[in-house]
Amino acid sequence: VWKSAYNCWLQYSDIKDHSRVQEYKKVCSNLVILDQSAIIDSAKEELEKGLFSMLGETPTISYEPQKKASIVLATYDQRTIKEYGVDYEDCNILNDDGYMIQSFDYQGDKAVLLLGKTDKGILYAAFHLLRLIQMSKDINNLTIFENPKNQIRMINHWDNMLGDIERGYSGNSIFYDQNEFTHDVDRIKDYARYLSSVGINSLSINNVNVHQVESKLITKELLPHVAEIADIFRSYGINTYLSVNYASPIEIGDLNTADPLDSEVQAWWSEKVAEIYEYIPDFGGFIVKADSEHRPGPFTYGRNHADGANLLGRALEPFGGIVFWRCFVYDCLQDWRDRKTDRAKAAYDHFKQLDGEFLDNVILQIKNGPMDFQVREPVSPLFGSLKQTNQVLEFQVAQEYTGQQKDLCFLVPQWKEVLDFDTYSEGKGSTVKSIVNGSKYPFQYSGITAVSNIGNDLNWTGNTLAQANFYGYGRLIWDTELSAEEISDEWVRLTFGHDEQVVEEVNQMLLNSWQIYENYTSPLGVGWMINPGHHYGPNIEGYEYSKWGTYHFSDCLGTGVNRTVKNGTGYSGQYYPENAEIYESLETCPDELLLFFHHVSYTHRLKSGETVIQHIYNTHFLGVEQVENMKARWEQLKDKIDTYRYENVLDRFTMQLENAIEWRDRINTYFYRHSGIPDEKKRTIY
């Protein structure tokens, strides 16, 4: 009963439409495999598994061209050109992870060629073909060229070796338990399948906060176990990375400094890296969180972040490894009297001045917003400001501030807004996606990474509907032109099948869920009204009176953070003029970010025509109604969804409703008491 939850979007349910089945069987009864590698073996295994499950027949396998209908797996080479007449010009446009799927009339029979530039492309093409079949699409007339838009397509795990996951909402780690490795090869392999089915090619497997035990992941004792995990992922075209402790030379070496300019420190890292590559010849490299939230870093030695990152880059360079250096650097201890220090400004202030100072194999990792994965925040002004520095954008698939996989919050629409945001760094059309995909500036490395939302829960993601964020993340960063609607529709059909009512209802739930979550939580971009520490549920002044202060400055006169250049923290000046002017002015600042940029009175009128206070009441009453409505609509689907998944999601909606009610009531009461202005519609405010 639980298999459907475990299998995510790779259900491979049998195809109901019989004429389609006949059509598919004609093409799919033979696999012809013209190259060999571990990755191609994975493609073969997946096709065998998927085709058997959907069509009830296992295909025969041959390693030479067959004069009959078949699925042909090949990389582009002389043999495929000769046998199938593939046009070189066509294939020239494929990049290293790209592929072509082409239908052929082959000696009177049907063939589908899955042609990769490399073996990875073959694997991606195999998943694509399986997806088409599961979606009941025609496969007799295919001409598909796919190149991933982003070169680095990564997931970061925040797993600790004890087994817990920082900001994990789906059980414990699949990699570690009680400071040991789980060696749960089957589960890890299934995870690799999901990752590569949506095109992920890089994975870091431990928390960016590298504590004592995890610091040892790069020692001889633990590297063989890391290598075992890397072997599994390698067969799915995924490179393995580790987060490392910047102070490793002290923590696990016998030096008393980690100064990046110290020659002993440099030698230590070089030897360490050489040792890692003995165990894992294609090791990806390091993720580093330094000088952030009490983690060690180069500041201790009076050095800057380029010194720190380049130290590691230099050690990794001979082996082709890379460093992801995180820009999440800010002073986490705030004083409410100090109106100039602004966390939002920190990443830009630290890193902008270092543009061009980093080695070629160092990549800066920049969170999508200047704060921390809030339901709404502006786009980080570092995008567009760093023109000579490799960079990746960091999203959070884990719903830390967006309902923790209890509440439904499909994040693809949010991510799309970020990717489509125009930075104006080179005038109009300098979108974030064109920067991180490396087309705007000639970066050696670039792409997108994100914090994972999976754990060892049976359904991987706690809330089964949160699987859509994992799927959607991979699909979107492969092709940033896909719409949220397309991605959602694919996911629903692959996950739940094609019943029209299910498809329509679940699509609507997903697509509206971000807006709904925003409606009942922090209003108008102000963020942070969650409980400090664990970050679930409302606590309006929780961070207002915490030493990790992140303020909204609400009082009886008004609310919001003044981040203008004119008389605020000056944050809005970090953008290019086109955006800076929009945010700076009350007249043009978009409603949804108003309180992020401005402190206003409760009677200030939004562009929508409502006052701020009435908007707060309206959205909070509405948000709860919307959750009630979603839950009721889910209940209508009872007979159409298997019990396990049905009950799982129903439980989550029940929790979400409780949460939404609490948010509504606390927010409304808080602002009513502060403003003294009653709700125009006279609804109950406690």
293 is an active site residue: yes
φ, ψ of residue 326 to 5 degrees: the values are -80, 140
Q: Which is nearer to ligand GCU, 400 or 457 (CB)?
A: 400
**From the CB of 351, what's the least distance to ligand GCU, in Å?**
15
Q: Which is nearer to ligand GCU, 147 or 546 (CB)?
A: 546
Structure tokens at 364: 């800066």
**From the CB of 159, what's the least distance to ligand GCU, in Å?**
12
**From the CB of 400, what's the least distance to ligand GCU, in Å?**
6
Torsion angle, alpha carbons of 56, 61, 66, 70, to 10: 40
**From the CB of 328, what's the least distance to ligand GCU, in Å?**
5
As a whole number of angstroms, the distance between CA 368 and CA 355 comes to 18
* Collapsed DSSP state (helix, strand, coil) of residue 321: coil
CB 144 within 8 Å of CB 94:
no
As a whole number of angstroms, the distance between CA 186 and CA 193 comes to 11
400 is an active site residue: yes
**From the CB of 169, what's the least distance to ligand GCU, in Å?**
12
**Exposure string for 381-405, b = 16+ CB within 10 A, e = fewer:** bbbbbbeebbbbbbbbbbbbbbbbb
- Angle between helices 643-675 and 612-635 in degrees, nearest 10: 160
Chain-centre distance for alpha carbon 507? 20
**From the CB of 295, what's the least distance to ligand GCU, in Å?**
8
Q: Which of 83, 119, 159, 372 is catalytic?
A: 372
Q: Would you tell me how many other CB atoms lie within 10 Å of the CB of residue 673?
A: 11
As a whole number of angstroms, the distance between CA 583 and CA 563 comes to 9
Q: Which is nearer to ligand GCU, 363 or 511 (CB)?
A: 363
Q: Which is nearer to ligand GCU, 534 or 605 (CB)?
A: 534
As a whole number of angstroms, the distance between CA 57 and CA 63 comes to 19
As a whole number of angstroms, the distance between CA 172 and CA 462 comes to 11
Q: Would you tell me how many other CB atoms lie within 10 Å of the CB of residue 345?
A: 20
Structure tokens at 677: 């202005």
The binding site for ligand GCU (CB under 6 A) comprises: 166-167, 208-209, 289, 328, 372, 400
Tokens 């990746």 -> residue = 392
Strand partners, 62: 32
**From the CB of 192, what's the least distance to ligand GCU, in Å?**
24
φ, ψ of residue 285 to 5 degrees: the values are 145, -155
Structure tokens at 66: 């067959």
As a whole number of angstroms, the distance between CA 360 and CA 364 comes to 11
Q: Is the dihedral of CA 477, 480, 484, 488 positive or negative?
A: negative
The H or E element containing residue 89 is helix 88-92
As a whole number of angstroms, the distance between CA 383 and CA 375 comes to 19
CB 481 within 8 Å of CB 194:
no
Q: Which of 400, 407, 490, 584 is catalytic?
A: 400
**From the CB of 385, what's the least distance to ligand GCU, in Å?**
20
| 337 dihedral zone (left: phi>0; alpha: psi -120 to 50; beta) | alpha
Q: Which is nearer to ligand GCU, 430 or 550 (CB)?
A: 550
Chain-centre distance for alpha carbon 23? 37
Q: Which is nearer to ligand GCU, 273 or 287 (CB)?
A: 287
As a whole number of angstroms, the distance between CA 440 and CA 149 comes to 13
Q: Which of 293, 481, 504, 541 is catalytic?
A: 293
List Cβ neighbours of 677 (8 Å cut-off, separation of 6 or more): 602, 603, 611, 613
List Cβ neighbours of 82 (8 Å cut-off, separation of 6 or more): none
Torsion angle, alpha carbons of 522, 527, 530, 536, to 10: 90
**From the CB of 166, what's the least distance to ligand GCU, in Å?**
5
**From the CB of 380, what's the least distance to ligand GCU, in Å?**
13
**From the CB of 526, what's the least distance to ligand GCU, in Å?**
17
262 is an active site residue: no
List residues with catalytic annotation.
293, 372, 400
